[in-house]
Amino acid sequence: MKVPKDYEPLKVEPKWQQKWEKLGIYRFDRMNKERPTYVIDTPPPYPSGEFHMGTALNWTYFDIVARYKRMRGFNVFFPQGWDCHGLPTEVQVEKRYGIRKGDLPASKFRELCIKLTDENIAHMRKEMDMLGFSIDWSTEYRTMDPEYYRKTQLSFLRLYKKGLIYRGEHPVNWCPRCETAIADAEVEYTERETTFTYIKFKIVGRNEYLTIATTRPEYLPACVVVAVHPGDERYKKYVGEKLEVPPFNQVVEVIEDRAVDPEFGTGVVMVCTFGDKTDVRWVKQHKLPVVKLIDEKGRITEAGKKYVGMSLQECRKAIIHDLKKAGAIEKQEKLTQNVGVCWRCKTPVEILSKPQWFMNVLALKDRVIKEARNIRWVPEHMGARLIEWATSMDWDWVISRQRIFATPIPAWYCSKCGEPVVAREDQLPLNPINTKPPVERCPKCRCDKFEPERDVLDT
């Protein structure tokens, strides 16, 4: 055999790739029961359009295993999927066409998402073929196809029937730019420089003040209580006193809570709805009222009175200006803090209380930790990571999203009482917007009118 002097991959490789494809040598033989089956269950990549170095490296590992197992006589099942749905595709569409999701009818926006995804998959598949991966392309799947997301909807219905999925109103992480709830796992943390502002709260009936320190003065209109540590001798005499919160002078009470750090700031903390997760815990623990200060776009609501319609940044500047004018600021200091941002657009995340669908993960928390400790982990630190993650869970997983390009939630609501009604399994896959509910009347109030669920499932 004569070996060519120069190797020309663009001429040689397509020839053999086409031959291998034609022969079907990578195909999984579903009818073969004689050879042992070996399944490579890889997480489907997001079709970004670029098969980057990290993905190429991972698929090289998968391919090495697939080829080795075939040579050892295994019937190898090596499918390729695409994780199509979700926020990344919507953000790409918005950037490409210079639009926001609300600028078009949902059906048209979804069409643009599908078009972009199809283009990206075609490009990435070509790159994967050029890299020579031994994938069985006859088993290719896309999460945006109805035959795939039927399984997602089926899981939703079965978990709902078991009581592990429920509809409720709880505080959730919220991205004002993407206008959707996001899970804890979708919040990234970054350092930023900010200002620590020391603000004087007047004690009602006295010519005396307590000073709080905050990085979020824009949340003053949503302050519902002030907290001090029960062991802090400086403030024991003030517990139960009433304070006026500038700039609107709403009256709040001073309470005790052991979670207050006496060494941080002044040791006096304002509890707002919701500046951070600690506020959420305090509101729940002390049964405090909720003031909805911001809307889905991150703008100040009517609760902010003269600041209504402002962005949070605009409100912060305006409130600081008004506080300085009123002589309510004692001092300001520079501070470096960790801020949670949306994993996709890097916008600072806020906390909103909104009706959502939740997975009842707290009910499973203890069982997950127990089972994790009974498993032999390789590598060992991955077990510790799972246990640490499960231990840190302090609220249920929000699974609904206020987006468009994702699996429709198979549910409707009674127009009169709001009672949710879910689909039957034999109706799947479906979009509730163009499908009738499985009942003619609400099982709770007997109303015969329903509204479709417009939120979608997390991906």
pLDDT over 70 (residue 146): yes
Query: What is d(CA 188, CA 140) in angstroms, rounded to the nearest whole number?
Result: 32
| Residue range 8-33: mean pLDDT, rounded | 89
> Exposed/middle/buried for 336, CB within 10 Å: 0-12, 13-18, 19+?
exposed
What are the tens digits of pLDDT across the range 157-202?
999 999 999 999 999 999 999 999 998 888 999 999 999 999 999 9
Task: Quote the distance between the C-alpha of residue 6 and its chain's center.
Answer: 52
pLDDT at 449 over 70: yes
What does the pLDDT look like over 401-439, one tens digit per residue? 999 999 999 999 999 999 999 999 999 999 999 999 999
Per-residue pLDDT at 13 exceeds 90: no
Residue-level pLDDT at 73: 96
Give percent of the chain with pLDDT exceeding 70.
100
- Taking residues 391-407, report their average pLDDT: 92
Please classify residue 11 by burial: count the beta carbons closer than 10 Å to its beta carbon, then call 0-12 exposed, 13-18 middle and 19+ buried: exposed
Q: Where are the alpha helices (DSSP H) in 202-276?
A: none
> What's the Cα-to-Cα distance from 244 to each of 207, 210, 211, 223, 288, rounded to whole Å?
12, 10, 11, 10, 17
> What token pair was written down for 35?
């050879």
Average pLDDT of the chain, as a whole number: 94
**pLDDT confidence of residue 1:** 66
248-306 pLDDT tens trace: 999 999 999 999 999 999 999 999 999 998 999 999 999 999 999 999 999 999 999 99
- pLDDT for 444: 96
From first CA to last CA, the distance across the chain in angstroms is 53
Q: What would the pLDDT profile of 300-336 be if each residue is shown by its tens digit?
A: 999 999 999 999 999 999 999 999 999 999 999 999 9
Beta strands in 204-267 (DSSP E): 209-214, 223-228, 242-245, 250-256
Q: What is the DSSP letter of 294?
A: B
pLDDT at 236 over 80: yes
pLDDT for position 10:
84
Pairs from 26-31 (Cβ < 8 Å, separation ≥ 24): 26/66, 26/76, 26/78, 26/134, 26/135, 26/136, 26/137, 27/136, 27/138, 28/75, 28/76, 28/77, 28/78, 28/79, 28/136, 28/138, 28/139, 29/75
What are the structural domains, with CATH classification, of the chain?
12-144 (3.40.50.620), 186-342 (3.90.740.10)
Total residue count of the chain as it appears in this document: 459
How much is the pTM?
A: 0.84
For residues 299-332, b (16+ Cβ closer than 10 Å) or e, as one string? bbbeebeebeebbbeebbebbbebbeeeebbeee
More reliable by pLDDT, 48 or 139: 139
Mean pLDDT of 351-372: 95
- Report residue 12's pLDDT band, with 50, 70 and 90 as the boundaries: confident
pLDDT for the residue numbered 86: 87
In this prediction, residue 3 carries a pLDDT of 72
